[in-house]
Amino acid sequence: MIYSYIRVSTSLQNLNNQMEEINRYCSLNDLKVDEQISIEISSRKDVRSRKISELVERLKSGDILIVTELSRLGRNTGEVIQLIDTLIKMNVEIRILKQNLFIKSHDPMNKMLITILSMFSEFERDIISQRTKESLQNLKDRGIKLGKPVGVIQSSKYDVDKDKIIELLTLGLSYRKVVRHLGYGSESSLFNYVRKRKLI
């Protein structure tokens, strides 16, 4: 079977971009994804929250896993290497599109390349994080208040389906089943959306 794993860190990013990239690749190579695991969650969350554990449990010998880039697989170099080692031992082939890596055996050159690329990705995240902190501190030092005004509710991806969400929850469906019905989001983010807006 062919699996794809798609993850974005924030609602500002779009799952569809990764889906389209994987679909283009499959179309050009006469492949078809049998099962897709997608989630919107920070890489800082644990492997179970990011559905990595679920992914490993589903994969079997001979399967193919497609991801758009290395950073989707882990929050740091060590985690990426550990996951890839696990999948190779399971005889799972990993295809990483942006880095053009096809991994299906313990090749020392592959491992070295993965380590280097993962380290660069981790370093880039650290640099961005540090610049963000410095920019925020600079704004604070200048007396600029940060954050949204008290009482303001920001728009949400769920807004377009608000009536449907209310209807399904009123019928007694769980948040998990509502998320599955919608085809996007997560149980916790939907719960927070409903709670903050006092929809039911």
Q: Whole-angstrom Cα distance, residue 68 to residue 57?
A: 20
Instruction: Please state whether the predicted TM-score (pTM) of the whole model is above 0.85.
Output: no
Residue 12 confidence (pLDDT): 46
* Cβ burial, residue 9 (10 Å; 0-12/13-18/19+): middle
In this predicted model, what pLDDT tens digit does every residue of 30-60 receive, in sequence order?
Answer: 999 999 988 876 655 665 677 888 889 999 9
Which range of 32-36, 68-72, 151-155 scores highest in mean pLDDT? It is 32-36
Residue 121 confidence (pLDDT): 64
Residues 165-193: what's their mean pLDDT?
88
CATH class of the structural domain 2-117: alpha beta
Contact assessment for residue 134 and residue 147, using Cβ atoms and an 8 Å cutoff: no
Residue 13 confidence (pLDDT): 58
Q: How far is CA 154 from CA 21, 150, 197, in A?
A: 29, 11, 10
Residue 23 confidence (pLDDT): 93
Residue 42 confidence (pLDDT): 62
**Percentage of the chain surpassing pLDDT 90?**
22
Of the candidate ranges 68-72, 121-125, 152-156, the one whose mean pLDDT is the lowest: 121-125
Contact assessment for residue 43 and residue 9, using Cβ atoms and an 8 Å cutoff: yes
In this predicted model, what pLDDT tens digit does every residue of 92-151 receive, in sequence order?
Answer: 999 999 888 888 876 777 667 777 776 766 666 666 667 777 787 877 778 777 666 555
129 carries an active-site annotation? no
Given the residues 4, 9, 11, 189, select the one marked as catalytic.
9
Contact assessment for residue 86 and residue 22, using Cβ atoms and an 8 Å cutoff: no
Residue 5 confidence (pLDDT): 92
Q: Closest Cα to residue 68, out of 126, 30, 106, 14?
A: 14
